[in-house]
Structure 1
Amino acid sequence: MSAPYLQRTPRINTNDDQVQLVAWRVAPGDYVEAGEEMADVETTKAVVAVEAERSGYLSPLVAVGEIVAVGAPLAWIADTADAVRSVPEAEAVEPSVEPAPAPVSALSITPAAGGISLSIQVPAAVATAPATELGSSRLSPAAQRRAQELGLGAEQLAGRGLLTLRDIEALASPAPTAAAKPVAGPAPSGGQPLSLAKRAEAAALQLGAQGGVVSHLTVQFPSSGIRRRLERDGLFDGQPLPLILYELARLLGQWPQLNAWCDGERVYPHPELRIGLALDLGQGLKVVQLPGLERQLPAQIHALVQEAAQRYLDQRLRPEELEGSSFSVTDLSSLDVLQFRPLINGRQSAILGIGGDSQAPGWPMSLTLAFDHRCSNGREVGLFLQALRERLLAYAEPETAPAPAADAGASLAAALRGLQGCDLCGIPREAYYRDFGRYAFLHAYVRPDGSLGAACHRCTSGTA
């Protein structure tokens, strides 16, 4: 029987030196196959499954919610359940490796006047040695030089472990006494620690706002006509988002300054358009990259968004899908949020916020573009938003004009003009008016069959 295997925390993202354990997929003491997904860890980009490197019985070494460094022990995997239960807990941490002793030579440090001259043993190759030994203390080369400049003696340096330049400065300038410190309130208890993904989100937003002169403009339009058209044709579940992404991708090619970023001195256009769509379906905000939208049709874009949303829910978004976008889109219209101010992500110069209110007449929608004035300006952004709105309204089904209300007086006059003459004496209408002139007057009445008839004034007065 071989010794238990210690599986370590893998490096998933190049820039992440730690991950957060989200869940164990295998219970402690259960058997796991090599290649089986045994745990979920969250990086700054996504939740990723960790596979077992060997088959055996699992003994976790990290609790759910704990942040663990890349390369640190994650779990023991043993051939038998008894073997994994018998692994000492202390063995979960790697023993430190002590460096082999190096040849030493004497080095004398002579402090400034008033200090104490001391002689210590340091490695012979002091130029490459990382630190100087002093009893139970070790000094870095920079710390040695600063200690000599400040006149620190042996009694101040000995017995302090590894001393860096900052430690030497602190010894030379001790912190104020407790009496001089301001009185602080009691330390807060409890609280929920920020996840790695939330910290990365905040860092990206801070980077997007760093040094920039950020402004925003909004246009608004009724979306009821667009939605009627989509529902009539059975497209996109009646949602305008695929049309917005389609027209946005085609339009951004004419405004390259919105697909760029600024470092404070120069503006760098992105070599290609990579639109990132912000998704938050209850498991934290993720900006999923949707490349090549300018070459896709609306139906294809709708499928891409649906697939990304499903992978989000299944926690199967890949890290490469969550980084490298050059322009972002965030949509809060499904929450009936009509207007809001989106925040620009790092290494971008603009973000489009989509709002809407299904309770308002015409189902109004808004397009808000937050932009960096170093890359663009208000006039350009205003023209861009106008062009995008006009393209979207071109999809709207025309409003059907209501039929005018019937005019009872006009209808009666038309019916009277259609009468051919007197029903009682039979005189034609034209002859009647010619013979009697201003005395002519046809009286309308309703016939037994419901139609309209007429009688002349002679017949109604009995003089005919």
Structure 2
Amino acid sequence: MSQIVEIKVPDIGNYTGVDVIDVAVKVGDKIAVDDTLITLETDKATMDVPADHAGVVKEVLVKVGDKVSEGSVIVKVEAADAATTTQTDEAPAKAAATVPAATTAKPVAVNVPDIGNFSNVDVIEVDIKVGDEVAVDQTLVTLETDKATMDVPSTVAGKVTAVHVKVGDKVSEGSALIEVAAASAPAAESATQDQKQAAEIKKQVAATPSAENNELRAEIKSHVSQAFGSSDIDEKGFEKAHASPSVRKLARELGVDLARVSGSGRKGRITPLDLRNFVKEVMQKVEHGGAGTALGGGLDLLPWPKVDFSQFGEIEVKELSRIKKISGQNLARNWVMIPHVTLQEDADMTELETFRKQLNKEWERAGLKVSPLAFIILACVKALQEFPEFNSSLDGNNLILKKYINIGFAADTPNGLVVPVIKNTDKKGLKEITQELADMSKRAREGKLKPQEMQGACFTISSLGGIGGTGFTPIINAPEVAILGVCKSQIKPSWNGKEFEPRLQCPLSLSFDHRVIDGAAGMRFLVFISQLLADFRRVTL
């Protein structure tokens, strides 16, 4: 007979009525010992509650938003030994009838689709497992590039018979993700994802030259001390860290303070990949020498100050979005590695604004509303054609001059800044650019841009025109060599030779890579754009 086991909330200290913020299992799931069932959150920390029995989940008794205490029943599980026990000799025919049949349908492979020119893309989430029923368009895995995250949906419906990827893997177009069939044979129990990754990390770390002679932990602690000022584990911080038991165990073995590791998992959970990246960063400093190597790009910078801000007053900790984490790293690299020069110029937009309002009336029936940015994009296309060194990229001692023009524009979204790219902009008119601007801006805010729609830019425009400002220093988006910043147009007095008259002036800020472009060329480029916007008829010349 089947044995149903209740798994309850274990000893969680003196806490009662603790919030359930995540439920990681559902009815029908196969679980192993130490698999996370739910995540709890107190006023001081989050904690995973692991399974203490393996088997098949028959009932889930909690949901997100519930409050639980020690002894609260989380799930009811058909114990693994009972679930796999065959029937007694008294009913062999019945037993044969209840054993799941072997796969009869030929499995269909689901592979990574076209994801642009990206390769070796990180798998950051796997949302399915063997035995799950999947539908068409259901998310299978989530990938992360240096510019965006993307969900990969299923192209077929059925039961998952094999999963070929795990969190931390790298995939490219065509890589096998899963196999799906109408029916499947029973799947063997496997170790949890975190446990498997932890084992892999141990192997990788052990293979590092710096880990010889069993000195790995001492070396890690030594260089953590150089980077952070101390190698001691903050026990309170370690306890509060949101991580699974296997990750905690591995962190202890490596002497890594989890309080210093940023979690990229759901609700800030520290994954084995996060721990591996932290160790890798420290080991890079061992390999290359110098405390500032990993944190400061070889500049021998002082360690980042670690301050307990709560000692000065009330604080709130808010995790950066994934987009801000990635873009922040790119911006820091670009600012440090590219010698920026920024020039300022005002563009007289008076006549152009009159023309824009006229067009908006004419295009109103078509539902189109042209923005000043559309005109600025066309002006930049003309300027890139006139000054080809601005449409280039630096590759060592070579300058790559591009014969195409793709314009990127910075789009403000709830999760941070992204840069959609309008392809072949030199072959498009004002109306088509207006349509693409509106469409891509909307999908950027909704997080629906495809990776290939955010790559291949030759030149980027960062517009704050809808907000304000009189100028700023935009950071170049490598491997581009220049970027144009735009602020809000303002009415200013302008001398016409006889008197001052009110004119609509738009502040422009051009940053460029001084290794490729000198100051005179930069100012000519900026003045050229300003002249085009002052008299847009010049675009046709």
For this structure pair, what is the TM-score category when the shorter chain's length is used for normalisation? 0.5 to 0.7
Aligned to 2:209: 165
Amino-acid identity (%): 20
Q: Distance in 2 between matches of 1:95 and 1:55?
A: 29
Q: Structure 1 residues 198, 363: CA separation in 2 closer, same or farther (over 3 Å shift)?
A: same
* 2:535 equivalent among 391, 394, 404: 394
Please say if 1:373 is aligned against 2:475.
no
Deviation for aligned residue 1:315:
3.8
The aligned amino acid for 2:402 is H
Please say if 1:36 is aligned against 2:162.
no
CA RMSD of aligned residues (A): 4.8
Please say if 1:349 is aligned against 2:349.
no
The aligned amino acid for 2:139 is M
Q: Structure 1 residues 9, 282: CA separation in 2 closer, same or farther (over 3 Å shift)?
A: farther
The aligned amino acid for 1:232 is Q
Select between 274-283 and 238-247 the one with higher mean Cα deviation: 274-283
Aligned residue for 1:334, secondary structure, equals coil
Deviation for aligned residue 1:344:
0.8
Residue deviations 1:59-95, cap 9 Å, x none? 999xxxx964347998897868xx99x9676366699
Runs of 5+ consecutive residues of structure 2 not aligned to the other structure:
1-100, 197-201, 242-261, 265-319, 493-501
Higher relative contact order (Cα pairs below 8 Å, separated by 6+ residues): 1
Q: Structure 1 residues 78, 89: CA separation in 2 closer, same or farther (over 3 Å shift)?
A: farther
Aligned residue for 1:243, secondary structure, equals helix
* 2:119 equivalent among 3, 7, 15: 15
Residue deviations 1:91-149, cap 9 Å, x none? 666999xxxxxxxxxxxxxxxxxxxxxxxxxxxxxxxxxxxxxxxx99x9xxxxxxxxx
Q: Distance in 2 between matches of 1:89 and 1:217?
A: 63
Q: Structure 1 residues 336, 9: CA separation in 2 closer, same or farther (over 3 Å shift)?
A: farther
The aligned amino acid for 1:366 is P
The aligned amino acid for 2:356 is L
Q: Distance in 1 between matches of 2:333 and 2:220?
A: 35
Aligned to 1:156: none
Q: Max radius of gyration: which structure?
A: 1
Contact 2:490/2:504 (<8 A) preserved: yes
Q: What TM-score do the two structures reach when normalised by structure 1?
A: 0.56
Q: Distance in 1 between matches of 2:395 and 2:220?
A: 40
Select between 335-344 and 37-46 the one with higher mean Cα deviation: 37-46
Please say if 1:310 is aligned against 2:442.
yes
Q: Distance in 2 between matches of 1:176 and 1:230?
A: 61
Aligned residue for 1:221, secondary structure, equals strand
Deviation for aligned residue 1:237:
2.6
| 1:207-356 map, 5 Å | 207-209=333-335, 211-234=337-360, 237=369, 239-263=371-395, 265-356=397-488
* 2:157 equivalent among 52, 55, 58: 55
Q: Distance in 2 between matches of 1:264 and 1:176?
A: 34
The aligned amino acid for 1:41 is T
Q: What TM-score do the two structures reach when normalised by structure 2?
A: 0.49
The aligned amino acid for 1:221 is A
Q: Distance in 1 between matches of 2:486 and 2:161?
A: 48
Contact 1:336/1:358 (<8 A) preserved: no
Q: Structure 1 residues 175, 325: CA separation in 2 closer, same or farther (over 3 Å shift)?
A: closer
Q: Distance in 2 between matches of 1:19 and 1:336?
A: 39
Q: Distance in 2 between matches of 1:248 and 1:337?
A: 21
The aligned amino acid for 2:481 is S
Runs of 5+ consecutive residues of structure 1 not aligned to the other structure:
97-136, 141-160, 397-464
The aligned amino acid for 1:317 is L
Q: Distance in 1 between matches of 2:215 and 2:137?
A: 53
The aligned amino acid for 2:138 is E
Q: Distance in 1 between matches of 2:155 and 2:194?
A: 18
Q: Structure 1 residues 207, 347: CA separation in 2 closer, same or farther (over 3 Å shift)?
A: farther
Q: Distance in 2 between matches of 1:30 and 1:171?
A: 44
